[in-house]
Chain A
């Protein structure tokens, strides 16, 4: 006879609600978050994407995989990343601000959580060649790094414009043994680098795994990348419990390019309504300026890179070029999970202009002695716009460090 557990009615009710909610924000078997997601890919990509969709959950859930993944995150990446109470920043905003220090990870950003996961997966799929796209170069560096570690050849596509504004990362990738190929079409930024990586995959259907750098692309990428990045919120819960006696913050704030650090930051809080989830997109010169990357503010549902999501596009359905000072946020879409969180109102999406981000970067540097990545500075920039209470707990995901942005900082902050 099976054991019967008696739940008290309210707990049972809570479970049901949690289950329903879990269903709301989890990906469906066909790769949908509500009306967003799916896999809109040409037949040439079907065998690769289908193989991934069929196998990713099984592989990720294997004990041996988890052991290897967790060990590398601990000993190679340096996890758990600290949760730091930023005292002077908190004083300024009269509340309690914790920074999730993804900037202290090996290679300097959250991106490596995902590339470690995907390279282990690629190995198990028997792939012998790795490709990736990159915007800021952080994902490219993180991919080149795990390829060096696992001894796999690596090609990284990067927009020509981004190769110039993130030159240190181009040099790092090359030193790590990766081939960096310039994407010269369109706006010559992240969108175009992604196009080129997908075209490479079409032309190399057998031996190659494409390590996508954010929660974008056809199913199962958005879910797979979110799972690998979910270690961020898993740790935050534990760390907050230790530091404050409560595992839930009042606000969880993260920047959104494709949305992987935000997805990882939100993941384990999605079903906790108490936690306000805030994504910050790049407004560029301002949402009404025509030079922006604030997708949820100016976009409409459409299809980009194999996924139905919010998309900046013309009336005719041509994809518009994004504009942001930050190469990592310079993307005209967002991951389908974010489109769904936006549509359902579970998360709120704000945006910060280039100037706001620069000022926020300078502020963090002077108050806390931490130079943030330009991407992360967008999340910090919204602290001034939210009315926090003195007893509230705010967590900001500091997705990366600012080394790669020193050229921009020197140029822009001097004047």
Chain B
């Protein structure tokens, strides 16, 4: 069974997924950060594949991308770093990034490398669902790698149904149409979250973009299965010098009840 599916089977509420950029702050931090996150009882992790021109990202993640690239990170190197990580890490792990680096790597070798290293799912925001259905779906399914799609408050119900039918593992509900890291008032999105719940989707829903602390996390969790934190975590990584301890207190702070 895919680890993402297993996670949602075992736990329906308050799922916390953390995003960080591979190769940031230091080139070889990937495994160390994964271990610290697991130690802090994080439910799931999204590792960002750095890209020079990520359209959906705000300044903080853009900056992390540039720093990672400057450090020498590449998709090839990321897979090398991930070799053997399943000996230590049990959480579901997702790769997230722009389409072009994946295309240059070659979609088939990419999915094979995902499978071989133990990656469970992929989020490629600029891969449209129709393109996926036509050209990529069978490749993903043959490797049992979930392709997770985004929806926004502007996504029509009809399209939501389609995305639900094609998305694997969960649906990534962007809190409101924006780039990553924007300040927003989660309470204003109540109607949207409620709609998602009432639609009785086949997939669980995680909210992302603008979740930055316990407060916003709690609000998202009132309506959905959990949330994703990216920008706020990247910022936290920048401030601490004892990374392990810092990550631990960050996660505990979010999850506290």
- What is the interface of chain A, defined by CB distance below 8 A to chain B? 38-44, 46-47, 185-186, 191, 195, 198-199, 202-203, 205-206, 300, 302-306, 311, 313, 315-319
Contact = CB atoms under 8 A, between A and B. Distances in A.
Contacts of A42: 55-56, 125-126, 150
B179 A191 contact: no
A315 B150 contact: no
B151 A43 contact: yes
A198 B177 CA distance: 12
A385 to B, nearest CB: 33
Tell which of B76, B98, B126 has the most Cβ of chain A within 10 Å. Answer: B126
Contacts of B98: 303
B249 to A, nearest CB: 31
B25 interface: no
A44 B178 contact: yes
Contact of B100 (A41, A191, A199, A319): A319
24 contacts: A38-B131, A40-B128, A42-B55, A42-B125, A42-B126, A42-B150, A44-B56, A46-B154, A47-B152, A199-B55, A199-B56, A199-B58, A199-B179, A202-B55, A202-B56, A202-B178, A300-B104, A303-B98, A304-B53, A317-B100, A317-B105, A318-B51, A319-B52, A319-B53
Contacts of B40: none
B53 to A, nearest CB: 5
B52 to A, nearest CB: 4
Interface in B56-79: 56, 58, 62, 66, 69, 74-76
B115 interface: no
A302 B150 contact: no
B126 A44 contact: no
B182 interface: yes
B71 to A, nearest CB: 13
A317 B75 contact: yes
A302 B107 CA distance: 13
Nearest to B153: A205
B78 to A, nearest CB: 10
A46 B128 contact: yes
A302 B104 contact: yes
Given A42-B126, A199-B179, A185 B62 contact: yes
A352 B103 CA distance: 30
Interface in B82-105: 98-105
B53 A195 contact: yes
Interface residues of B, number: 39
A195 B76 CA distance: 25
Contact of B101 (A202, A203, A318): A318
B170 interface: no
A203 B179 contact: yes
Contacts of B100: 302-304, 311, 313, 317, 319
Contact of A316 (B55, B58, B76): B76
A317 B103 contact: yes
Contacts of A44: 56, 150, 152, 154, 174, 177-178
Given A203-B177, A306-B126, A319-B53, A43 B101 contact: no
Interface string B36-53: 000000000000000111
A9 B151 CA distance: 54
B24 interface: no
Nearest to A205: B177
Contacts of A302: 100, 103-104
B155 interface: yes
A331 B177 CA distance: 28
Interface string B5-36: 00000000000000000000000000000000
A174 to B, nearest CB: 24
A40 B182 contact: no
Contacts of A319: 52-53, 100
A155 to B, nearest CB: 15
Given A43-B125, A46-B128, A318 B55 contact: no
Contacts of A38: 131
Query: What 4 pairs across the A-B complex have the smallest Cβ distances?
Result: A317-B104, A317-B101, A205-B177, A42-B125
A304 B58 CA distance: 18
Given A304-B53, A306-B126, A317-B75, A43 B150 contact: yes
Contacts of B128: 39-41, 46
Nearest to A306: B126
A184 B109 CA distance: 35
B24 to A, nearest CB: 15
Contacts of A315: 104
B13 to A, nearest CB: 25
B184 to A, nearest CB: 10
Contacts of B151: 43
Given A186-B52, A202-B56, A202-B177, A43 B149 contact: yes
Contacts of A43: 125, 149-152, 155, 163, 174
Given A41-B128, A195-B55, A199-B55, A316 B99 contact: no
B113 to A, nearest CB: 14
A195 B152 CA distance: 20
A301 B58 CA distance: 26
Given A41-B126, A43-B150, A303 B55 contact: no
B243 interface: no
B127 interface: yes
A304 B53 CA distance: 8
Nearest to A191: B53
A304 B159 CA distance: 25
Nearest to B126: A40
Contact of B154 (A40, A47, A316): A47
Tell which of A38, A195, A305, A317 has the most Cβ of chain B within 10 Å. Answer: A317
Given A44-B152, A199-B179, A205-B154, A313 B56 contact: no
Nearest to B174: A44
B154 A318 contact: no
Contacts of B104: 300, 302, 313, 315-317
B53 A186 contact: yes
